[in-house]
């Protein structure tokens, strides 16, 4: 079996360090998305979701009122 010299191992680690470092840096840079356009409003739109929630609440309230009225009439 061949003995590995520690200086040879250190030299190989130095040869691999820079390419690995560059791969990590460039991979990280490419995984980021492009910056948002400056002319757009960064806030989230609230109109669609709130409108649906209000409509669902009104519909649920009407349903509860109708069932409550039906229960009172049946007694």
Read off the pLDDT of residues 8-67 as tens digits, 9 standing for 90 and up.
767 777 788 888 888 888 877 677 677 767 776 666 666 777 888 999 999 999 999 999
Q: How many CB atoms are closer than 10 A to CB 61?
A: 10
pTM over 0.85: no
Could you give the 3-state DSSP secondary structure of residue 46? coil
């Amino acid at each position: 079996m061949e003995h590995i010299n520690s200086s040879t191992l250190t030299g190989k680690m130095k040869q691999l360090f820079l390419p690995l470092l560059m791969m990590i840096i460039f991979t990280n840079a490419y995984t980021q998305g492009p910056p948002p356009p400056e002319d757009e409003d960064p806030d989230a739109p609230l109109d669609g979701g709130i409108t649906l929630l209000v409509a669902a609440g009104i519909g649920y309230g009407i349903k509860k009122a109708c069932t409550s009225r039906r229960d009172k009439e049946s007694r």
